[in-house]
């Protein structure tokens, strides 16, 4: 079994934190000690909202995961933008993030890592979220929405992961345009893919 799972998505506001919650509970029910890591969170005023919510959940399920919010969300920026923009003149140390990931892995059976935005969100000028997944040697879980336009975003994201030779599964988060999804997008998905996975069914 994978040691690290990286939750990514076709874009922002697609449901990565919700997906983290689903996977954390999924693995905990299997009797595994689960951990959580969000390398960068933007839009932070006092505490990182996503990181704090998931850390509280993990600590409830895995008391051995005795770490602080600064351990699980080491880079916190106020501006709600891509990390490259939000960090301003600060450098994000990739070696430090890799070390932090390895430290957290020692405290659990499986580490759930939450990305920021979509795959091509920049962390540094020439380094993107997809590159972080590759650096971490993690298996990706791609979350795609059910809204109009999801086919294009899903196929582009899948191609990007395949081009980088990153192992992945993908899940539909059935919430936006939920009522029209069955008519508008589902027919193509059924024809194109052998199997469809829904996040709510985890």
pTM for this prediction: 0.96
3-state secondary structure 156-175: HHHHHHHHCCCCEEEEEECC
**Feature table: binding site for substrate:** 42
Give the model confidence (pLDDT) of 124-170 as tens digits.
999 999 999 999 999 999 999 999 999 999 999 999 999 999 999 99
Tens of pLDDT, residue by residue over 188-200, are 999 999 999 999 9
CATH number of 4-201: 3.40.50.300
Q: Looking at the predicted structure, is the pLDDT value of residue 1 above 90? A: no
> Considering all CA atoms of the chain, what is the largest pairwise distance in Å, rounded to the nearest integer?
47
Q: How confident is the model over 60-96, as pLDDT tens digits? A: 999 999 999 999 999 999 999 999 999 999 999 999 9
Catalytic entry in 22, 38, 87, 141 = 38
- 100 labelled catalytic: no
Which residues fall in the annotated binding site? 13-18, 42, 50, 114-117
**Extended beta strands in the chain, E state:** 4-9, 34-37, 40-42, 75-77, 110-114, 122-124, 127-128, 139-145, 168-173
């Amino acid at each position: 079994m994978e040691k690290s799972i990286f939750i990514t998505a076709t874009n922002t506001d697609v449901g990565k934190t919700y997906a983290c919650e689903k996977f954390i509970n999924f693995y905990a029910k299997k009797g595994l000690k689960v951990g959580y890591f969000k390398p960068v969170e933007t839009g932070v005023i006092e505490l990182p909202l996503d990181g704090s919510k998931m850390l509280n959940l993990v600590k409830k399920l895995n008391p051995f995961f005795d770490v602080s919010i600064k351990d699980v969300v080491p880079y916190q920026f106020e501006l709600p933008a891509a990390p490259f923009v939000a960090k301003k003149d600060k450098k994000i140390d990739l070696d430090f993030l890799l070390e932090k990931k390895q430290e957290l892995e020692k405290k659990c059976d499986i580490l759930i890592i939450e990305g920021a935005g979509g795959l091509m969100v920049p962390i540094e000028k020439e380094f993107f979220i997809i590159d972080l997944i590759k650096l971490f040697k993690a298996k990706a879980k791609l979350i795609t929405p059910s809204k109009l336009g999801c086919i294009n975003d899903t196929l582009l994201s899948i191609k990007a992961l395949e081009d980088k030779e990153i192992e992945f599964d993908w899940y539909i988060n059935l919430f936006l345009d939920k009522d029209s999804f069955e008519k508008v997008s589902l027919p193509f998905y059924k024809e194109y893919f052998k199997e469809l996975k829904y996040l709510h069914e985890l």
